[in-house]
Structure 1
């Protein structure tokens, strides 16, 4: 069996460190906003090169609270991509705002910056790019548009911890960055967790209140907030794994290169953004005979997945936005053709070869 990710191999590698950190957190008996949360926030901010990092309960909450913190409210519009996990657009709706979808580039899978400007109007307040599968979006063009039209930029970094764009870490480029620590992520905890990064003092101050019932001081509530706090135990785990993140990401890149070596040109690969480092949260290709490939892999006990089979503009949940099939053709094409193969720091060369040969046998 070859799974998409392999937590058991991870535990064989760093399990003793993690168990020690978890035991320490439990023994401290400070589980909510305890010392490990503050420690991890400081470590993450230093690694990412930003002024502030705020631990929250999930990547979805990171997006929601970041949008609230920059002032997104009812009636506003936020431009984003339809080719992503639903949380990206859900967070916009949570604020009472409207997601406006812009099609993606066929080669990078990220939002097509050439199409953003035509969607900007008086209601537009922010752009929410996604660094999809660990591949940074074209941030220079996005920042230029934001400056031209006085818009905020919130980065969805759920899949891109450790990825860089022109030497800067994702999450340290826009007004705020939003990370997920879902167990499958490059930097994942053993439950749910998230992080918001910013260099803005006011955004940071607002986030601190929003994540903790609108309170800076216990029982004194400045605004209506939320219960969205990173658990101390999860923070302890993340601090251990953060020390290994560069090694983990390099191993993912090595696996991606092996896939390309063994598969050759029988599939189309996600193009790395210019002057950027893709950390390959997923290794996703465009391929014909997707169903046949998945069936063949499954029969050999090899996992595969489709991210994402239905683009957001065609999801029933967003039916009120009145998009129809054909409106965003590239996202729709990719949704029908992409397939993701196992990728993790512990995947062995021989396993990559077996997967590649299985795909080649179908194609």
Structure 2
């Protein structure tokens, strides 16, 4: 079901799965805030789970302690295109009777054990906004599901509550047609945007391959530097490489160098680098004022947020662009590492 953007796609998935208002939905603390604000918009409470250090994703291990008798669903984000460990999450959800929504906003073309993301949970939400792997003219979204009843609910709600069968499979007497079997809203995607998306779908395999090539180049150039930590996905995961992450190891840096200073140095050298996804979205004032922050911080995600470097690997970059990026990063890091004696103490 195509819709206006990824945020309403999340809301639409919650609506179509008939997740009760007032219940709790477990979400990652490390994500874009829409993953959790969509939960609030549908009248539920987000419960923030910490992430695994390797992937930056939630897992069955980080989710399980948060499940209560109020829990109704889990939203798992395939962060930066790295799929969550879905077998374990789905098994945990089945054990507790929970729905699972995949947030695939950053994972178009990613696969888990040979299956495309968006086909692994009870429903999934995609985003097609301006910098995603696929974009439909600035904004766009989609809900996917293998449940026809859920699909019809989503189709109906995003178009003012029109009944699918009433529109397409019912003979109407007279000129006027009574089509709205329930109440909904207008979250439709325009036909022009859909046309753009259909063209980009054909290009997706090549685009993902180019992203993977760029990521492999950066990995080769940065691997082995003692001031960086890199993570490599397991073989059963196909990483869509929305972005490329590397993590600083502060113990190997001179005391006057922080992550932010390194980012500023790289940006001054013309390198497009940032810190990436918000590590603790519950620190946003919207969640703080609503009393939705957890009692204790998510420590793994906090550490990742303090040390992360994020680089683009989109297909409009050339191989030379990416090589220069990696060489420049390595050069800056070589200048800011601590003296040899300090490195030995850190080790």
Instruction: Indicate the TM-score class for this superposition, using the shorter chain for normalisation.
Output: 0.7 to 0.9
Contact 1:292 1:362 (C-alpha < 8 Å) held by counterparts: no
Q: CA deviation at 1:298?
A: 1.8
Contact 2:48 2:294 (C-alpha < 8 Å) held by counterparts: no
What is the aligned length? 309
CA deviations 1:153-174 (Å, max 9, x no partner) are 1100001111000010000011
Contact 2:157 2:184 (C-alpha < 8 Å) held by counterparts: yes
CA deviations 1:307-345 (Å, max 9, x no partner) are 224511222211112425x52101111111111112111
Alignment of 1:127-276 (within 5 A): 127-216=74-163, 217=167, 220-266=179-225, 267-276=228-237
Structure 1 position 323 matched with structure 2 position 300: no
Structure 1 position 282 matched with structure 2 position 243: yes
Structure 1 position 101 matched with structure 2 position 101: no
Contact 2:39 2:46 (C-alpha < 8 Å) held by counterparts: yes
Q: CA deviation at 1:271?
A: 3.4
Contact 1:309 1:336 (C-alpha < 8 Å) held by counterparts: no
Structure 1, 95-104 or 114-123: larger mean CA deviation: 114-123
Contact 1:297 1:355 (C-alpha < 8 Å) held by counterparts: no
Contact 1:304 1:342 (C-alpha < 8 Å) held by counterparts: yes
Contact 2:31 2:279 (C-alpha < 8 Å) held by counterparts: no
Gap runs ≥5 in structure 1: 1-53
Q: CA deviation at 1:274?
A: 4.9
CA deviations 1:209-265 (Å, max 9, x no partner) are 110111235664333312101111111111111111000000100000000111122
* Matches of 2:260 and 2:184, distance apart in 1: 45
Aligned to 2:15: 68
Aligned to 2:263: 294
CA deviations 1:146-198 (Å, max 9, x no partner) are 11111111100001111000010000011111100012111112121001001
* Matches of 2:311 and 2:135, distance apart in 1: 19
Aligned to 2:3: 56
TM-score by length of 2: 0.85
Please state whether the residue corresponding to 2:53 is helix, strand or coil: coil
Which of the numbers 306, 309, 313 marks the counterpart of 1:339?
309
Contact 1:69 1:207 (C-alpha < 8 Å) held by counterparts: yes
Contact 1:108 1:273 (C-alpha < 8 Å) held by counterparts: no
* Matches of 1:150 and 1:205, distance apart in 2: 22
> How much is the aligned-residue C-alpha RMSD, in angstroms?
1.5
Contact 1:84 1:130 (C-alpha < 8 Å) held by counterparts: yes
TM-score by length of 1: 0.82
Please state whether the residue corresponding to 2:77 is helix, strand or coil: coil
Gap runs ≥5 in structure 2: 168-176, 251-257, 334-347
